[in-house]
């Protein structure tokens, strides 16, 4: 069955928290201890925080579904919702994650295509994102889609400070 991309509403916030927690843990579970994960999730992955993000006029959230189940998601930001001041011509892909068993198979490419479409609809000429410096698989994926490394920023997971590479793509 082909995947379905569904816009996320505030009523979906608890489902998004569950999926976001699972996918983040699937992706980074072997790199951090439980204390750092617990602090990260407590600070960032709550129904209240996600409801606020979903309601923000400059943020866009979508589930990727297969057989009626949410298996991935994307969060995009423009204007004041961006996590870094990149300017008015940018759309940020803040999060794009899939459950481990659903990584690959063109699913991520469909969400990148969605990001490009939304960027164009909002007259944005570039897309940017941060990708962990120790995630070569994700870096290769973004490079295949035309993204280039243009800088870096720091990302906090509990007490651990990591470096994300900032990648961008011109549309």
Residues tagged active-site: 142
**Cβ distance 171 to 119 under 8 Å?**
yes
Sheet containing 4-7, strands listed edge to edge, beginning at the edge strand earlier in sequence: 4-7, 59-66, 69-78, 90-98, 126-132, 160-170, 148-157
- Rg value, the chain, Cα: 15
User: What's the DSSP call for residue 103?
Assistant: S
Count Cβ atoms below 10 Å from residue 145 Cβ, excluding itself: 16
């Amino acid at each position: 069955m082909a995947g379905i991309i569904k816009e996320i509403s505030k009523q979906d916030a608890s489902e998004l928290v569950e999926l976001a927690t699972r996918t983040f843990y699937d992706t980074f579970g072997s790199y951090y201890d439980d204390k750092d994960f617990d602090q990260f999730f407590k600070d960032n992955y709550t129904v209240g925080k996600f409801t606020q993000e979903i309601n923000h006029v400059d943020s866009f959230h979508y589930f990727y579904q297969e057989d009626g189940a949410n298996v991935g998601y994307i969060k995009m930001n423009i204007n004041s919702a961006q996590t870094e001041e990149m300017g008015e011509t940018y759309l940020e892909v803040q999060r794009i994650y899939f459950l481990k068993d659903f990584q690959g198979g063109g699913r991520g490419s469909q969400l990148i295509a969605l990001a490009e479409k939304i960027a164009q609809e909002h007259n944005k000429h570039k897309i940017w994102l941060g990708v962990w410096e120790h995630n070569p698989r994700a870096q290769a994926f973004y490079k295949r889609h035309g993204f280039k490394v243009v800088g870096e920023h720091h990302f906090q997971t509990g007490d651990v400070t990591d470096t994300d590479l900032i990648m961008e793509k011109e549309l």
